[in-house]
Amino acid sequence: MSVFPIMLLLSNSLLGWVEIVGNPRVTPEVTRDVCLLARMMAANLYCAQIEDLMFELSMWRCNDELRSRADELHQSSKKDAKHYIEFWKKVPPNEPYRVILGDVRDNLYNTRERSRELLSSGHSDIPEEATLTNLEQLLEPLELCYRSLCACGDRVIADGTLLDFLRQVSTFGLSLVKLDIRQESDRHTDALDAITSYLGIGSYREWSEERRQEWLLSELNGKRPLFGADLPMTEEVADVMGAFQVIAELPGDNFGAYVISMATSPSDVLAVELLQRECHIKTPLRVVPLFEKLADLEAAPAALARLFSIDWYRERINGKQEVMIGYSDSGKDAGRLSAAWQMYKAQEDLVKVAKQFGVKLTMFHGRGGTVGRGGGPTHLAILSQPPDTINGSLRVTVQGEVIEQSFGEEHLCFRTLQRFTAATLEHGMRPPISPKPEWRALLDEMAVVATEEYRSIVFQEPRFVEYFRLATPETEYGRMNIGSRPSKRKPSGGIESLRAIPWIFAWTQTRFHLPVWLGFGGAFKHILKKDIRNFHMLQEMYNEWPFFRVTIDLVEMVFAKGNPGIAALYDRLLVSEGLQPLGEKLRANYEETQKLLLQVAGHKDLLEGDPYLKQRLRLRDAYITTMNVCQAYTLKRIRDPDYHVALRPHLSKEVMDTSKPAAELVTLNPASEYAPGLEDTLILTMKGIAAGLQNTG
């Protein structure tokens, strides 16, 4: 059996979620169709495997258990007009394994056809009871065949194709992948507000957290239905309720967790539990709160403690809880240093709360592909987690921008799984040291200063948003269909409404990487100015504390990829004269932060401790810089159609042939709103720069 699909599945079900989230095109109908399509594909693949087994298991010797089952099936089965290529006639009773497998194939056929009909027309004549609705129905007859073969002395045969198939089925299930559903907490608040307004008991949105919890728990402990088909719903509320109805309609093995993004309080979790019950979901999904912003991470332990103190909730989770922490939005909210430190402390406190209540806690790390979104070398990232926060299990997201480099080929799948496995085992067997009290105190003070400096520029500088949109391709990126979701959560608003992906992506394109390093310089200056002896403590932290070392090393790697000269070119071409001093101020901060970082790490040059990576970045630099220059001038042409770049004759004789109209010379993407070829050039440079600056650790 090929290991590649198993590794790919592990990447989906164990290391991250599958469903694209935050995209308005991912409607309940799309979610439903994806689940049905995956179920149809799984049944189709298994049908082919079953026919191979029917060829192989032609023997008549079997144990009494299998013989009895085969006789019963043979007597009750009828010849159907199914379009089988092989074994289309009724199997004789002296081939008991084929009788058993033939019945499995019939059930798989019905499962496939029902899914196909539901996909194509929305209804099916095949009843659900004639299909496979849970994994045990498929595994049980296969395990029966395995036991019988072993009992009759045919273990060599049992351990061949049959055992491989059992492993495939156990791994992929009947749905190939499990979809995680993800929705923002505010959308659930809107849904419950519609319900309470419909019931005439007030506005849920305006209630305090205590009143929300009280009402949610009273309803969870009760049995009355809260609403009917006449519930008035806005389009947004209908979308939320539609997702719950899809979960209720489809078999439970299609889904994994229900992730609540932007979770802030216990009521966010209880709200999803109540909505699952009201929509009659037979097997409720486990609910995973995602704490993202700095204040929410600080409040997360108290929120979890409150949930665990509720008898109903403790009984519901059966001793297991999953909590997700968000690297992307916490970094956008407070800067890389403060976010990383707060997530470290939050994990420690969450684990303490879980131990206090006897709950097994699994941390779900919402890492992105870039350093600004929590990305970095897998092995080091895991080993830098606080002691006792992994305990043999964890989940991490595998983002779309790095999925190919982690799982694109068979050997990459093996290597990725080896990295996760080795680091998880090493973290448990040789836990990292806990930070000393004086280290904690120093980093607490640094985080406060770093957050102040970061927010003073990103959120409090009056003209920063204007500068950001001029100096980077963020505006053009938002117009192009090259992201997994819209660039903003809300059409209006500033940085707070911008998603973390375009926020990081835009600064990466200009090689300035502002979200990664901004705040470090101010923190270092404050600590060193306060007491020069802190310099030796910082070096001690770097040399002895894995978390601090990994944090500094990743920022150093980003500086090695950065180039303030390139950012200055974008400023000179794209930024208005009145805003250029802001860019100069930020570039001076960049240079100062880089020097301070090297001093703390004890390095004279960037990446002097990793000459191999340094050489690879040097080789890439000429190509990336060329694309940067091309992109900067392309943006200038897009924003100022009257601007022209003088072309040298040796570049292209065809381009210099002015007798041909431009439309004949450049026909790429004729539907673009820009001049011919500009949008395509911009997309190519965006993707090229992003690929060239991918994490190389």
How far apart CA 213 and CA 264 sit, in angstroms, is 13
Residue pair 567/587 in contact (Cβ under 8 Å)? The answer is yes
Name the residue among 693, 239, 246 with its Cα closest to residue 507. Answer: 693
Residue 530 annotated as catalytic = no
Alpha-carbon Rg for the chain in angstroms: 29
Burial class from Cβ neighbours inside 10 Å (0-12, 13-18, 19+) for residue 491 reads: exposed
Cα–Cα–Cα angle for 531, 537, 540, rounded to 5 degrees: 165
Enter the tokens of residue 92: 């004789």
Paired with 255 in beta bridges are 179
Cβ count near 89 (within 10 Å): 8
Enter the tokens of residue 479: 């117009």
Cβ count near 639 (within 10 Å): 14
Active site residue: 332, 355, 436, 595, which one?
332
Helix (H, G, I), strand (E, B), or coil: what is residue 579? Answer: helix
How far apart CA 151 and CA 174 sit, in angstroms, is 28
Enter the tokens of residue 597: 């970082």
Cα–Cα separations (whole angstroms), residue 645 to 315, 632, 641: 69, 12, 11
Length of the chain: 697
Residue type, 242: G
Alpha helices in 122-234, H assignment, sequence order: 135-151, 155-157, 163-172, 185-199, 209-221
How far apart CA 553 and CA 606 sit, in angstroms, is 10
Name the residue among 350, 339, 344, 348 with its Cα closest to residue 292. Answer: 339
Cα–Cα separations (whole angstroms), residue 416 to 392, 394, 411: 17, 15, 9
Most distant pair of Cα atoms in the chain: their distance: 90
Active site residues: 332
